[in-house]
Amino acid sequence: MRTTMIALGFSFCFGIGAAHAAIVARNVDYDVDGKKMQSVLVYDDAVKTARPGLVMTPDWLGMNKDQVALAQQVAGKDYVILVADVYGADVRPKNADEAGAAAKNMYAHRSDLRARINAALTQLKAQVGKAPLDGKHWGAFGYCFGGATTLDLARSGADVQGVVSFHGNLSTDDPALTKNVKPRCSR
């Protein structure tokens, strides 16, 4: 990962690929039950082809420039990604203690977490016509705390074709919600 980030940094410094890439990273502001949220929409504007949309839920550190940079890397020419704010615009952890407290709060309020990640998906879908989204293919992925949140999105019955949880917490406050999962494994 570090090597990739260094290579990416050099490419920007020396203008490699600069003529082709027009990475957009713009805030998407909205409210969820009176809580202000600020997610970030990321895509390569140089590519005009409509693409699938993905919701990316950050790890426990939440929204920050590193998560946006990761989304830019993953999006490439193939996806439009909304980096989901699930803590709220006023919560931006700066260290492990703050991140732990923020994640613990969300785990204690799983219905709020599900509402917030579903609102992020709704906001992504609302970008059809404003961003190069195909409007048909939706998915979600997340890392650690974000992986757990992605699983909660799936358990909520969200209309997505796939979800990926990278070492996410598998626990849930309501095991019966697994019956709502729409994406299915196929071989």
Measured CA to CA, the distance from residue 66 to residue 111 in angstroms comes to 27
The model scores a pTM over 0.95 = no
State the pLDDT at residue 12.
Answer: 41
Per-10-residue mean pLDDT of the chain, 187 residues long, equals 42 42 90 96 93 95 94 93 96 96 94 95 96 94 90 83 73 62 56
Measured CA to CA, the distance from residue 58 to residue 86 in angstroms comes to 9
State the pLDDT at residue 7.
Answer: 41
Cβ pair 150, 168 in contact under 8 A: yes
State the pLDDT at residue 86.
Answer: 95
Cβ pair 42, 68 in contact under 8 A: yes
Domains of the chain: 21-180 (3.40.50.1820)
State the pLDDT at residue 155.
Answer: 83
Closest CA to 172 of 154, 159, 158: 154
State the pLDDT at residue 169.
Answer: 63
